[in-house]
Amino acid sequence: MGYLLNKEGMNQLLASLRDEYVVYAPKCFVGGGRFSETDCIRYGEIQSIEEVVFDKKSDYSFKEVLTPISQTLFYFTEDSVKEADAPKKGAIVFLRSCDLHGLRRLDDMYLRNGQPDYYYKRLRDRVHFVLMGCDHSFKNCFCVDMGTNISDNYDLSVDVQGDLYALDNKWDQLETLLEDLAVATQEIVPAHVKDNEVHVHIPENLDERIAKSSLWREYDSRCINCGRCNFVCPTCTCWSMQDLFYSENGKAGERRRVLASCMVDGFTDVAGGGSYRKKNGDRMRFKVMHKVYDYKKREDYHMCVGCGRCDDICPEYISFSNIINKLEDGMKEVTGND
């Protein structure tokens, strides 16, 4: 059922939800941008609907709610181990269609890739998602070509319509509350992007032979392996383990898992001093092929959701969509003698 709420109604709805949930949404952190006197749009806890940034793309994805940058798993002493407590409240996350498709990839990796990840599952089981309709495409987005511009697996959707908020509800628990708060009811179809300025084409003959293409060598020097592209990506799931010791003897402390990046030094280091991907271009090849080739072979859909955040944040102006569009020439190069 669709409902129209005014600002007061939306804030009463959020106030009711906050009894059981922490509400996260893209919000503006003034002065928090990468450059001086610039702001940052990223996920944070909100108290009112006025805090939600609807008209700009968030610089970072929602994934930090489910996969925190640094997450304590357990505490240990010489004689005991104590599991870290889960958050007391569940969570509600406002996100766009591309990110909701990113959630499907996270679930694949953490829940359906062998034994479910315990720490991810205990958070995931208590999260509800609110789809933010996109009435236009943002810079560097290519969600339409990746098939992620439309979603229907949300609990609630919200579109801004002038001074009102149009909600499509699939969450039974909210039905009575929304009936009380709505100023009107009507059929609601969440807004979605129908076209992007950026388009990508993934060649149908793409395979492992692309590894021999010269196109990767461009990124040996252009990429500075900062890893920013991984940290903003809603589908990157790599992490590493760290032990934090409280005392010099190492007999008490905590174990954390911390987000990691396949683009940075040390990620592929192995015992004996070896490293599988020393050149930055080889790391780029691994990342690109994982996003638009390897993953699809297993899951039958691409890992990349076309949000374009990797393009937005790269300090070297490397465009992921441009790399995808170079793959066709790369395949011609490596199959020229076939």
**Could you tell me the mean pLDDT of each successive run of 10 residues in the chain, 338 residues long?**
94 96 97 90 97 96 95 95 95 98 97 95 97 96 97 96 96 95 95 97 95 96 96 95 91 95 93 92 97 94 97 96 97 84
Q: Under DSSP, is residue 286 helix (H, G, I), strand (E, B) or coil?
A: helix
Structure-block tokens of residue 334: 């490596």
**CB neighbourhood size of 259 (10 A):** 19
d(CA 247, CA 40): 37
Which pLDDT score, from 0 to 100, does residue 155 have?
97
Structure-block tokens of residue 267: 């990620």
**CB neighbourhood size of 71 (10 A):** 18
Which pLDDT score, from 0 to 100, does residue 338 have?
62
Residues 71/54, Cβ–Cβ less than 8 Å: no
**Alpha helix (H) ranges present in the chain?**
7-17, 97-111, 118-124, 143-146, 175-181, 218-222, 228-232, 280-289, 295-299, 309-313, 320-334
Buried b (16+ CB within 10 A) or exposed e, 19-52: eebbbbbbbbeeeeeeeeeeeebbbbebeebeeb
Angle between helices 280-289 and 320-334 (to 10 degrees): 90
Q: Which residue carries 């890992």 as its tokens?
A: 303
The one-letter amino acid at 285: R
Residues 304/292, Cβ–Cβ less than 8 Å: yes
Q: In residues, how long is the chain?
A: 338
Beta bridge partners of residue 317, listed in sequence order: none
- Residues 257, 260, 262: CA angle, nearest 5 degrees: 145
Burial of residue 173 (number of CB atoms within 10 Å: 0-12, 13-18, 19+): exposed
Would the CA dihedral through 142, 121, 73, 115 be positive or negative? negative
**CB neighbourhood size of 174 (10 A):** 20
* pTM confidence score: 0.94
Q: Which residue carries 């040996």 as its tokens?
A: 220
Structure-block tokens of residue 311: 């393009």
**CB neighbourhood size of 81 (10 A):** 10
- Residues 200, 291, 141: CA angle, nearest 5 degrees: 40
The one-letter amino acid at 94: F
Burial of residue 116 (number of CB atoms within 10 Å: 0-12, 13-18, 19+): middle
Which pLDDT score, from 0 to 100, does residue 284 have?
97
d(CA 152, CA 312): 27
Which pLDDT score, from 0 to 100, does residue 34 have?
83
